[in-house]
């Protein structure tokens, strides 16, 4: 049997605390359980989720997955179907029978419609077929977490005149709604999750757009300029999204 990646369990990403920054109950680090027996996929997906700012725990078989899922409160469970011990369909059904209402995203190597329907009937919220596009998977995770986080605590960031309600995707400046494009919102959320940290242009382009290299630098500049225009008191002298010379950008809120 494969074992979890050493050191990965409980390896929560750093959250930079800042004066005037208020994070509500869920905080920025939604907790995801990844039940997957393929070690390579666990590592790639685990790294990506950590990089997106999530806390990740792992299980490599169905029995461990069930035990973890009923003993720890997760915000989302990603569930492979073909697993040693107990398959993902049974696990999904048993979790629902046990009253676990956390969103479940099924990762399936099968692609027949029947399997997808079975998964959804057993209580899964969404599925994605392997091999999958990482960007698409991240988007689906975000969508499921948005739905899930309507429950008790809204994820709200507040600093100075800016408030961001991550669940409602709503941004306000001095109490007045600011309209952001979907990409601007994604970029802002990405920067906020890493506030106080200098980020290279390459990394931002890779993580937010999925681009390699800096050939799309202009795209990044346009969106940064758009955010500054909408959020900064004086866009020509930005104090929230600052330029880090020779590197890229940093959110200072």
Give whichever of 30 and 80 is closer to Ca ion, judged by the CB atom.
Answer: 80
Determine if 41 is a binding residue for Ca ion (CB under 5 A): no
Give whichever of 42 and 189 is closer to Ca ion, judged by the CB atom.
Answer: 42
As measured in angstroms, the least distance from the Cβ of 109 to Ca ion is 6
Contact call for residues 207 and 47 (beta carbons, < 8 A): no
Give whichever of 53 and 62 is closer to Ca ion, judged by the CB atom.
Answer: 62
Among 52, 61, 75, 80, binds Ca ion (CB under 5 A): 80
* Residue 110: both structure tokens together: 């099968």
Number of residues that bind Ca ion (CB under 5 A): 3
Among the listed ranges 73-81, 92-100, 175-183, 232-240, the one in contact with Ca ion (CB under 5 A) is: 73-81
Give whichever of 37 and 142 is closer to Ca ion, judged by the CB atom.
Answer: 37
Determine if 37 is a binding residue for Ca ion (CB under 5 A): yes
Among the listed ranges 34-42, 47-55, 207-215, 218-226, the one in contact with Ca ion (CB under 5 A) is: 34-42
Q: Which residues of 204-241 are buried (b: 16+ CB within 10 A; e: fewer)?
A: bbebbbebeeeeeeeebeebbebbbebbbeeeeebebb
Q: How many Cα atoms are found within 13 Å in the side-chain-facing hemisphere of 48?
A: 19
As measured in angstroms, the least distance from the Cβ of 30 to Ca ion is 24
Among the listed ranges 7-15, 31-39, 69-77, 191-199, the one in contact with Ca ion (CB under 5 A) is: 31-39
As measured in angstroms, the least distance from the Cβ of 36 to Ca ion is 6
Angle between helical axes of 88-97 and 113-121 (0-180°, round to 10): 20
As measured in angstroms, the least distance from the Cβ of 23 to Ca ion is 35
Q: Taking Cα atoms as reference points, which of 33, 44, 38 lies closest to residue 72?
A: 33
Q: 170-173 and 176-178: which strand pairing?
A: antiparallel
Length of the chain: 253
Among the listed ranges 11-19, 23-31, 78-86, 175-183, the one in contact with Ca ion (CB under 5 A) is: 78-86
* Residue 224: both structure tokens together: 């940064």
Paired with 33 in beta bridges are 57, 77
Interface ranges with Ca ion (CB under 5 A): 37, 80, 82
């Amino acid at each position: 049997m494969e074992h979890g990646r050493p050191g990965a369990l409980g390896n929560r990403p750093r959250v930079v605390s800042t004066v005037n920054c208020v994070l509500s109950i869920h905080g920025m680090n939604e907790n995801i359980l990844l039940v997957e027996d393929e070690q390579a996929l666990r590592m790639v997906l685990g790294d990506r989720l950590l990089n997106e700012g999530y806390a990740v725990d792992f299980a490599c078989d169905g029995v461990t997955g069930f035990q973890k899922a009923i003993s720890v409160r997760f915000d989302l469970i990603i569930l492979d179907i073909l697993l040693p011990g107990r398959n993902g369909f049974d696990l999904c059904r048993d979790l629902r029978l046990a009253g676990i209402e956390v969103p479940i995203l099924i990762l399936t190597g099968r692609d027949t419609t029947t399997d997808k329907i079975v998964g959804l009937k057993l209580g899964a919220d969404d599925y994605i077929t392997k091999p999958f596009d990482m960007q698409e998977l991240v988007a689906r995770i975000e969508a499921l977490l948005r739905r899930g986080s309507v429950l008790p605590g809204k994820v709200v960031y507040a600093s100075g005149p800016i408030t961001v309600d991550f669940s409602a995707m709503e941004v306000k400046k001095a109490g007045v709604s600011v309209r952001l494009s979907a990409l601007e919102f994604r970029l802002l959320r990405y920067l906020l999750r890493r506030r106080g940290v200098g980020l290279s242009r390459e990394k931002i382009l890779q993580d937010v757009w999925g681009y390699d290299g800096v050939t799309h630098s202009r795209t990044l500049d346009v969106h940064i300029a758009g955010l500054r225009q909408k959020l900064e008191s004086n866009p020509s002298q930005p104090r929230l999204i600052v330029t880090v010379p020779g590197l890229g950008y940093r959110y200072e809120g």
